[in-house]
C-alpha cells in the first residue's frame, strides 16, 4: 500500500491542503475551492513531478460520465486562480502541450499540528499514474485525443482567419441618431429583426406583461401576444424574421422558464424546451437554438445547451460550478462558433470573461483575456471577427458598450449611453436596440408604533448609528458612496468619495467607527473609517464580504462572505479572519448580546428562519411565517434580544410585509403591508437603539429601450 493513501495533510509553498477536512488554506486562511477543483488539486499534490495525462485527470474527476475537455480546462483555471498561479510562468501547475499537466512544486507531508513528518514527496516517474483504472485511462485518453485533436484544428483555423483582424468594422464613426422607444420604465426587453425593419419589445405595468411588434420606420406598434401576468425571460427573432422565440413562466411559480415559439405577427405559442433561462440565440440558418440552464448545484451551477430549433436533440456544451454563471450567448455569423459570457460578480470583482465553443468539436477557448464585473449583452458583428458587448468593469460598475476582436483586443466605445443592458443588432450592423437600466430605490423610515413609511432619500441600504443618525449608501452624487444624515433626512454628508462600489455600512457600538463594503482594491472587502469619513483603511485581505455588526466586546466585526455566503469574523486586534458558521445562507443577523444568530435562507430554505447559538451553531428554533407561499427577505434583531423584525415577500420580491416574531417563532404579528416595490436581500433593515423605528430600502429598476440608427 502506498504510504500516501493515509496522508491527510500536504504543504507546498505557502499553502496547506487538508484532504480529511477538504480545505485549502493560505497562511492559516481558508481559500475557496469547488469540490471538483479540490479533487483536482489533491490529485496533483499526490503526484508531484508526474505528468498527468488529460484523460487520466478526466477519468479521475468524472469516472462515470463523458465530459468535454473544456470542463477540465475550466477547473485547471480555478485551481490556478486559487493558488495565484500563472500558466505562462507557473509556480505549481505546468502545462505539457498536447498531453496534460504536471505539479512542479515540492510537496511536504505534515501532521495535523502542521509539523513536518516526512521529507518532500518526490516524483514517482512516468508510471505513477497507473494507480488509476487502466480501462478509465484508455477510454478517457481516446476520447480526449479525439476532442483535443479536433479542438486544436479549430483553434488553428480560427487563428488563421483572425490573424490579420482588428477593430476594423466602421462603427460609431459618425454622430448617432438615438431614439427613445419608451420612457415608462417598464420595457425589459427589445430585439430588432435581422433585416432591421421590426422591433419586438415587452412592456410591464401593474404586473401585466404585453409583447409588441413595432415598425422601426413608422413607430407603429401592434400587440402580438395577449397580456398576461406571466414573467418573460428574453427574446430572439429567427433569421428569416418569421418567428419569435421567448422564455416565459407563470408568476409566483418557482423554477426556470420554458422556451416558446410564435409567428412574428402573432399566433399561438408553441412550447419547445422546458426549464431554461432567458439567454437564447438562434443559428444563422435558423436550424439551432442555444440556451442556458441553471440548476444552482455545486458542480453544475449553470450550463450552456444547444438544440434543434424545434426543441429536439438537446446537447450540453459547457458547464460551470458554483458560483460561476453562464449568461448571454450568440451564434457567430458563419454558425460555427457559439460565443458566450461566463463568470461571477458576487465579490464585486472583474471575473466575467468571453468564451467561444466550436460547435463541431465542442472545443472551448477564451476569446479574450479581458475581464469584466458583468456582461449583459453580446452580439457578433457581420464579419464574424468582432463582437459588441455591454459590460461593466470594477470599480465603477457602469455598463457601457465594448468592441472585442477575436485577436483579443478590447476597446470601450466612448460617448454612448451608459447603463446599457441587453442589446440586439441587425444583420448589417446598421441598427441596434438596447435596454437602459436605472435604479430607483429609496430609504424609508417607519415608526413601529404605527403610521405609514416615510421616504427619506435615494439609497441602496442603510443602518442606524447610536447617536440617532443614519449612515447609508447612495449613488446620489454619481458614485456609489457612503453618506450620513439626521433621522429626518436633513444635513446629508458624503463620507466616501472614491470611484468604487461602496455599500452596506454599519456603525460601531460607541458610534466612532463606520464599517462598510468596498471594491476599491479590486474585489469586495470590509473597510473601516471614522464616523466623519477620515482614516479609511481596509480590514479583510483574503476573505472579503459585507459587514453585519460588531460583537459586544468590540474586538470582532462579523461579516457575510461574498463568495461562500457563510458567516465570518475579523479581529480588530490582529486582523485574523475566521469562519463562524460554515453553512451558506441568504442573510445573517447577530443578536445585540452576541449569543444568538438568525439565519435567513439556510440550506436554500427561503421560507423559514433559523435561530442558532453563535458559539456552536446548534439550532435553537426554526419557524415559518403564518402565511404560506412567502419567502423571508430580511431579519433583524430587536434591542430586547427576544424578538426580530422580518420582511417577507412573494416569490417575485413583491407584496412585501413587515412582521415582528418572537425568537422561538411561537408569536408572529403582522405590522405593515409594504406594497409591491422590490425589497431585496441587499436592501437591509435596521432598528434604532430604542426599538421604536426601523429603516429599509425599497424601490425598483427602471427599464427603457433605445434605438441607435446610423452605426455605420
Q: What is the pLDDT of residues 618-653, one digit of tens each?
A: 999 999 998 877 888 999 999 999 999 999 988 776
> Measuring CA to CA, how many Å separate 535 from each of 395, 495, 513?
20, 11, 10
Q: How confident is the model at residue 65 (pLDDT cuts 50, 70, 90)?
A: low
Average pLDDT of the residues of the chain:
87
Residues 6+ apart with CB under 8 A from 487: 445, 468, 469, 470, 693
pTM here? Answer: 0.76
Q: Are 335 and 357 in contact (CB under 8 A)?
A: no
Residue pLDDT, tens place only, 400-439 = 899 999 888 889 887 677 788 899 999 999 999 999 998 8
The domain defined by 449-582 folds into Neuraminidase (2.120.10)
Length of the chain: 712
Which residue intervals of the chain bear CATH 1.10.10.10?
A: 3-150
In three-state secondary structure terms, 655 is coil
164-438+703-709: CATH superfamily: TolB, C-terminal domain (2.120.10.30)
Which residue intervals of the chain bear CATH 2.120.10.30?
A: 164-438+703-709, 449-582
Phi then psi for residue 56, to 5 deg, are -65, -45
Class of domain 585-679: mainly beta
Q: How confident is the model at residue 513 (pLDDT cuts 50, 70, 90)?
A: very high
- Residue range 495-500: mean pLDDT, rounded: 92
Q: What gap in Å lies between CA 556 and CA 577, rounded to an integer? A: 10
In three-state secondary structure terms, 501 is coil
Lowest mean pLDDT among 131-140, 566-575, 594-603: 131-140
Residues 6+ apart with CB under 8 A from 439: 460, 475, 699, 701, 702
Residue pLDDT, tens place only, 27-58 = 777 888 888 889 999 999 999 999 999 989 98
Place of cell 479549430: 154
Class of domain 3-150: mainly alpha
Residue pLDDT, tens place only, 239-270 = 999 999 999 999 878 789 999 999 999 999 99
Q: At what angle do helices 54-61 and 69-82 cross, to 10 degrees?
A: 90
Amino acid at each position: 500500500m502506498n504510504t500516501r493513501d493515509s496522508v491527510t495533510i500536504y504543504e507546498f509553498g505557502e499553502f496547506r491542503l487538508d484532504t480529511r477536512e477538504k480545505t485549502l488554506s493560505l497562511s492559516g486562511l481558508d481559500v475557496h475551492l469547488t469540490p471538483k477543483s479540490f479533487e483536482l488539486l489533491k490529485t496533483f499534490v499526490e503526484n508531484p513531478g508526474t505528468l498527468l495525462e488529460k484523460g487520466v485527470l478526466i477519468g479521475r474527476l468524472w469516472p462515470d460520465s463523458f465530459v468535454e475537455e473544456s470542463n477540465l480546462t475550466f477547473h485547471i483555471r480555478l485551481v490556478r486562480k486559487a493558488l495565484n498561479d500563472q500558466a505562462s510562468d507557473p509556480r505549481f501547475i505546468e502545462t505539457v502541450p498536447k498531453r496534460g499537466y504536471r505539479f512542479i512544486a515540492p510537496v511536504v507531508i505534515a501532521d495535523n499540528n502542521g509539523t513536518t513528518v516526512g521529507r518532500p514527496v518526490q516524483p514517482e516517474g512516468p508510471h505513477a499514474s497507473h494507480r488509476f483504472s487502466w480501462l478509465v485511462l484508455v477510454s478517457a485518453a481516446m476520447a480526449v485525443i479525439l476532442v483535443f485533436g479536433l479542438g486544436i484544428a479549430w483553434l488553428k483555423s480560427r487563428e488563421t482567419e483572425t490573424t490579420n483582424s482588428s477593430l476594423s468594422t466602421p462603427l460609431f464613426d459618425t454622430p448617432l441618431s438615438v431614439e427613445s422607444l419608451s420612457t415608462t420604465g417598464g420595457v425589459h426587453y427589445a430585439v430588432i429583426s435581422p433585416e432591421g425593419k421590426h422591433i419586438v419589445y415587452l412592456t410591464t405595468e401593474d404586473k401585466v406583461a404585453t409583447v409588441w411588434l413595432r415598425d422601426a420606420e413608422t413607430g407603429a406598434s401592434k400587440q402580438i401576444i395577449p397580456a398576461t401576468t406571466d414573467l418573460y425571460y428574453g427574446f430572439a427573432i429567427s433569421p428569416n424574421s418569421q418567428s419569435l422565440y421567448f422564455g416565459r413562466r407563470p408568476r409566483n411559480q418557482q423554477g426556470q422558464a420554458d422556451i416558446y415559439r410564435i409567428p412574428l405577427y402573432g399566433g399561438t405559442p408553441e412550447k419547445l424546451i422546458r426549464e431554461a433561462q432567458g439567454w437564447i440565440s438562434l443559428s444563422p440558418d435558423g436550424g439551432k437554438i442555444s440556451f442556458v440552464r441553471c440548476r444552482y448545484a455545486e458542480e453544475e451551477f449553470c450550463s450552456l445547451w444547444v438544440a434543434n430549433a424545434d426543441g429536439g436533440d438537446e446537447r450540453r456544451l459547457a458547464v460551470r460550478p458554483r458560483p460561476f454563471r453562464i449568461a448571454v450567448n450568440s451564434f457567430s455569423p458563419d454558425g460555427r462558433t457559439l460565443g458566450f459570457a461566463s463568470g461571477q460578480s458576487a465579490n464585486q470583482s472583474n471575473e466575467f470573461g468571453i468564451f467561444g465553443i466550436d460547435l463541431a468539436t465542442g472545443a472551448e477557448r477564451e476569446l479574450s483575456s479581458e475581464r469584466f464585473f458583468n456582461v449583459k449583452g453580446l452580439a457578433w458583428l457581420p464579419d464574424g471577427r468582432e463582437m459588441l458587448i455591454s459590460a461593466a468593469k470594477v470599480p465603477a460598475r457602469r455598463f457601457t458598450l465594448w468592441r472585442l476582436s477575436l485577436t483579443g483586443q478590447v476597446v470601450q466605445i466612448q460617448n454612448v449611453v451608459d447603463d446599457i443592458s441587453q442589446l440586439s443588432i441587425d444583420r448589417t450592423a446598421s441598427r441596434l436596440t438596447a435596454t437602459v437600466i436605472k435604479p430607483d430605490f429609496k430609504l424609508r423610515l417607519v415608526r413601529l408604533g404605527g403610521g405609514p413609511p416615510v421616504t427619506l432619500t435615494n439609497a441602496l441600504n442603510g443602518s442606524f448609528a447610536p447617536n440617532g443618525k443614519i449612515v447609508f449608501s447612495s449613488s446620489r452624487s454619481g458614485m456609489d458612496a457612503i453618506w450620513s444624515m439626521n433621522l429626518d433626512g436633513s444635513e446629508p454628508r458624503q463620507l466616501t468619495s472614491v470611484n468604487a462600489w461602496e455599500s452596506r455600512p454599519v456603525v460601531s457600538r460607541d458610534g466612532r467607527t463606520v464599517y462598510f463594503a468596498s471594491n476599491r482594491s479590486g474585489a469586495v472587502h470590509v473597510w473601516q473609517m471614522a464616523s466623519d469619513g477620515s482614516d479609511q483603511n481596509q480590514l479583510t485581505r483574503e476573505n472579503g464580504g459585507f459587514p453585519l455588526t460588531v460583537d459586544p466586546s468590540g474586538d470582532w466585526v462579523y461579516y457575510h462572505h461574498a463568495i461562500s455566503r457563510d458567516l465570518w469574523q475579523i479581529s480588530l486586534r490582529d486582523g485574523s479572519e475566521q469562519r463562524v458558521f460554515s453553512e451558506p445562507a441568504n442573510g445573517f443577523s447577530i443578536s445585540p448580546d452576541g449569543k444568538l444568530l438568525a439565519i435567513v435562507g439556510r440550506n436554500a430554505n427561503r421560507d423559514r428562519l433559523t435561530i442558532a447559538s453563535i458559539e456552536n451553531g446548534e439550532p435553537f428554533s426554526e419557524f415559518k411565517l403564518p402565511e404560506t407561499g412567502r419567502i423571508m427577505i430580511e431579519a433583524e434583531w430587536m434591542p430586547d434580544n427576544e424578538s426580530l423584525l422580518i420582511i417577507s415577500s412573494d416569490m417575485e420580491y413583491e407584496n412585501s410585509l413587515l412582521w415582528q416574531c418572537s425568537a422561538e417563532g411561537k408569536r408572529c404579528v403582522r405590522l405593515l403591508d409594504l406594497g409591491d416595490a422590490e425589497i431585496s436581500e441587499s436592501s437591509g433593515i435596521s432598528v434604532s437603539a430604542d426599538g421604536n423605528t426601523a429603516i429599509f430600502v425599497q424601490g425598483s429598476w427602471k427599464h427603457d429601450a433605445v434605438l441607435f440608427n446610423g452605426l455605420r
